[in-house]
Amino acid sequence: MKLPSSPRVGRVILIASALTMALPALLPQAAQATVGDQRREVERIVDELDRLHSQADILAEDYAEAVDTKNQLTLGIAAAEQRVAEKESELDSLRGDLAEVAIRAFTGNGADVLGPLFSNADQYSEGLRRDQYSRVALSVGTSTTDDLDELVSDLDDERKDLESKRAQVEALTVTIADKQQQTESLTTDFIQRRDSAQARLGVLIEEEEQRRADEAYAKLQAEFAASQRAVANTSANQGGGGTTGGAATGGSSGATVGGATSGGTNGGSAPAPAPAPTINVPSVSGRAGIAIQAAQGQLGVSYRYATSNPGVSFDCSGLTHYAWGQAGVYLPRNSRAQAAALPRVPAALAQAGDLLFYYSPISHVGIYLGGGQILHAPNSGTVVKISSVSWGKVTAVGRPG
């Protein structure tokens, strides 16, 4: 049976045919659009995770600083209380001695403790008698009642200092509780968002983070190489004589950058009018291996704010404080103080045992293991572990001795 034809049927057939022919060309474009959208989504998520993690670390460091300050103040309070007690005892004793001498001198009771000088007290002024009474009472031969006034003033200052420290501790107690609550809230938010992103996009998140780390490290190397070339050019223009390899003090012949040795000594036949700029880097301490081994012994130990308890819990600076302490090197108790106390080296010259500091203001620290790996106690609800270095977040490198 022949189906009736119509203009509408013909148009449908033509449209279907056109779509059939065009579909293979449209599918790659759609796929490309999907991949591009996914990449942008991954980048947006990693940006947000970085922002949250940075904020959480900064708050955690603020918390650790407040706890450290409070602990120091608590020790200061104990010392101030001891000084106040000693001065109060000294003051009570001095007042008692002065009172006894005054009573015995003016009433004539007891022995003449002032000696023959006052056998006729009317011959001497009141000021002279007052001075001599205090000399006898203090039994030091040169003190006067001014010492009593000075002691009272010192005691007053000590009491004011003690009250100031107590007030600071009270204020810090409130600050610590607030910082801890904010840090825990933000850290929880970060963990939940990262877990959600990992569940949806899996390895793409890690690949993007690694890509950024590699890109940042390549940039560091390029910048360092450029600075070395500038130093070499300066040395050549001045006639030579400057060391341009970033050589470490202590005998290193050149700086290693990206696995290759760059630099050496550029000489010239004519003496240079002035030495060329140099990059002096402290030599790597032989204790670095001990510090790394100590830190490795704490792998898997839980993270906890403002702690440094081997086998129990650490925060980031607590781990570095402990590890280098095992090597016989004292480090302050928070990452900002550690960064301020250590000599800096260029990030491109970081070597095993160096401390890598993150963010501005500095709010995280870990021990560099070499090969782009860091051993640290991250504020992410996890444990002491080894991770890839986020070179884009590294703002300083310190070398303990």
Cα gap 354→398, rounded to integer Å: 6
Residues 195, 214: Cα–Cα separation, whole Å = 23
Residue type, 333: R
Cα separation, 47 vs 107, in Å, equals: 88
Sign of CA dihedral 253, 257, 259, 265: negative
Annotated catalytic residue within 53, 165, 179, 376: 376
Task: Considering the candidates 295, 316, 347, 389, report the single residue annotated as catalytic.
Answer: 316
- Token digits of residue 395: 């703002």
* 281-282 vs 248-249, strand pairing mode: parallel
Taking the alpha carbons of 259, 353, 50, 197 in that order, is the dihedral positive or negative?
positive
Q: In what order do the strands lie in the sheet with 364-370?
A: 385-388, 373-376, 364-370, 355-358, 394-398
Q: How many whole angstroms separate alpha carbon 328 and alpha carbon 322?
A: 10
Active site residue 376: yes
Residue pair 331/320 in contact (Cβ under 8 Å)? The answer is yes
> What are the residues whose beta carbons fall under 8 Å from the beta carbon of 334, sequence distance 6 or more?
61, 64, 65, 68, 317
Q: Could you tell me which residues come within 8 angstroms of residue 228 by beta carbon, excluding any fewer than 6 positions away?
A: 244, 245, 246, 255, 257, 262, 263, 279
Rg (CA), the chain: 37
How many other CB atoms are found less than 10 A from the CB of residue 195? Answer: 10
Q: Give the DSSP letter string of 312-352.
A: TEE-HHHHHHHHHHHTT----SSHHHHHHHS-B--GGG--T
How far is the C-alpha of 35 from the C-alpha of 28, rounded, in Å? 10
Q: Which of 194, 364, 393, 399 is catalytic?
A: 364
- Ramachandran assignment for 300, one of left (phi > 0), alpha (psi -120 to 50 degrees), beta (any other): left
Q: Would residue 316 show up in a list of annotated catalytic residues for this protein? A: yes
Active site residues: 316, 364, 376
